[in-house]
Amino acid sequence: MLAALGAPSRYVQGRDASAALGVELTGLGIAGPILIVAGRTPRRLLAETWAASLAAAGIAFTIHDFGGECSLAEIGRIVESARAAGARAIVGAGGGKALDAARGAAERLTLPVVCCPTIASTDSPCSALAVIYSEDGVVQGSELFRRNPDLVLVDTTIVSRAPARYLVAGMGDALATWFEARTCALSHAQNLRRGASTRTALAIAELCYRTLREDGLAAKRAVEAQAITPALERVVEANVLLSGIGFESSGLAAAHAIHNGFTAVPQTHGYEHGEKVSFGTLVQLVLEGTPQAEVDEVLDFATSVGLPVTLAGIGCGSLTEEELMIVARRATREDDTMRNEPFPVSPEMLIDAIRAADAIGRARLAEAGR
């Protein structure tokens, strides 16, 4: 098996980076008109900046109002908007679902695509993978595109104004990167580029975890104060770039499969992707029989920034036996990333690991008086 690594063509991050959109597009040879796919909040915060930046670059644009779910229907609507506008490139602005949908439309039209995350809540902006949901928020599967984004532009001024919960959720998503990468390397699993992991990808995944542990709490406090600090810049880079390259070029395993399982029960639909992945990471460590010292290290980090470590933390404190089996069966489907664990995982094994992880998390919270 050949080794393979995927990454965006260009990554730009920093204070007021949105003002550089026109210059960056021009530098990449991307001309208008362009279609911007954006939710209400990104549009409210950035419409004037986009207008000024793109006008200075002589690039015409229109905005498609994102519908809220990265569904096949929404991707189809974006495709139609792009055709109507005569778009020569698509820009996604917002959270992970908006960016995934924008990339899905660009793939279908063979157009350049730019990702402008306005929250650092997932590692999707840099990847060539999109998670496809139903219109009511249940994971249906994923699509792997032919190429990574042409540009990822992260404005940390906008990120710093978002609720801290989003940054923390991004840390939950990024938390899984090293542990899933390590598992995939151990089991010689294919990464998402259908190759073996490079040492570069593993080093990036490990740096992602180290950055979270060193800077996560300080970055959360910076966002709570709406302040841009070096710690915030490092954690945003970890959430978006390091985790994005790390997961795509090393692979996913139990933590993300468990997330997908939990989307099958409606109790979790009000929780962020990274919040569910965070608990999934704890379950993965229990499932793999990870030494307690490492489990404690993860618990220390997760509880310090406020990531969920129990079923109740993702709305599932009173799941029935039937609902728990629905979760476990969805997570252990043959077409999901549970297959990358170095041993077969049955629904019954996973239920035991979920219960044990929940007990560990509850004990930790009780010790802390929470």
The answer for residues whose C-beta is within 8 angstroms of residue 318's C-beta and 6 or more apart is none
Segment 147-165 mean pLDDT: 96
CA dihedral over 299, 303, 304, 306, signed as positive or negative: positive
Contact criterion met (CB below 8 Å) for 201 and 5: yes
Q: What is the pLDDT of residue 62?
A: 96
Burial class (CB in 10 A: 0-12, 13-18, 19+), 283: buried
Alpha carbons 88 and 13: distance in angstroms, whole number: 24
Contact criterion met (CB below 8 Å) for 367 and 292: no
The answer for residues whose C-beta is within 8 angstroms of residue 208's C-beta and 6 or more apart is 174, 177, 178, 238, 242, 243, 246
Contact criterion met (CB below 8 Å) for 108 and 116: no
Alpha carbons 285 and 183: distance in angstroms, whole number: 10
Segment 270-278 mean pLDDT: 95
User: pLDDT tens across 40-50, in order?
Assistant: 999 999 999 99
Pairing of strands 129-133, 139-144: antiparallel
Alpha carbons 326 and 305: distance in angstroms, whole number: 30
The answer for residues whose C-beta is within 8 angstroms of residue 329's C-beta and 6 or more apart is 261, 347
Token representation of residue 236: 């945003």
User: Cα separations (Å) of 102 from 6, 136, 159?
Assistant: 19, 19, 20
Alpha carbons 61 and 17: distance in angstroms, whole number: 18
Q: Which of 64, 123, 259, 336 does the annotation list as catalytic?
A: 259
Q: Which of 64, 123, 150, 273 does the annotation list as catalytic?
A: 273
Q: What is the pLDDT of residue 126?
A: 95
Q: Which of 173, 215, 336, 358 does the annotation list as catalytic?
A: 173
Whether the pLDDT of residue 39 is over 80: the answer is yes
The identity of residue 295, as a single letter, is: V
Q: What is the pLDDT of residue 32?
A: 87
Segment 62-89 mean pLDDT: 95
In the residue annotation, 173 being an active-site residue is answered as yes
Closest by Cα among 80, 102, 98, 86 to 32? 86
Alpha carbons 96 and 114: distance in angstroms, whole number: 13
Provide the whole-model pTM. 0.94
Residue with the larger pLDDT of the pair 269 and 357: 357
Backbone angles phi, psi at 36, to 5 degrees: -100, 125
Q: What is the pLDDT of residue 161?
A: 95
Backbone angles phi, psi at 297, to 5 degrees: -60, -45
Alpha carbons 346 and 296: distance in angstroms, whole number: 26
In the residue annotation, 64 being an active-site residue is answered as no
Ordered DSSP codes for 235-246: HHHIIIIIHHHH
Query: Reduced to 3 states, what is the DSSP secondary structure of residue 341?
Result: coil
In the residue annotation, 100 being an active-site residue is answered as no
Contact criterion met (CB below 8 Å) for 353 and 359: no
User: pLDDT tens across 92-109, in order?
Assistant: 999 989 999 999 999 999
User: pLDDT tens across 113-152, in order?
Assistant: 999 999 999 898 999 988 898 888 777 888 989 999 999 9
Q: What is the pLDDT of residue 211?
A: 98
Q: What is the mean pLDDT of the chain?
A: 95
In the residue annotation, 256 being an active-site residue is answered as yes
Q: Which of 100, 155, 215, 256 does the annotation list as catalytic?
A: 256
Return the residue matching tokens 């919040």: 275
The answer for residues whose C-beta is within 8 angstroms of residue 235's C-beta and 6 or more apart is 120, 167, 170, 171, 211, 212, 215, 216, 219
- Domains delineated in the chain: 11-160 (3.40.50.1970), 164-367 (1.20.1090.10)
The identity of residue 128, as a single letter, is: A
Neighbours of 370 (CB within 10 A): 10
Ordered DSSP codes for 5-60: ----S-EEEETTGGGGHHHHHHHTT--S-EEEEE-HHHHHHHHHHHHHHHHHTT--
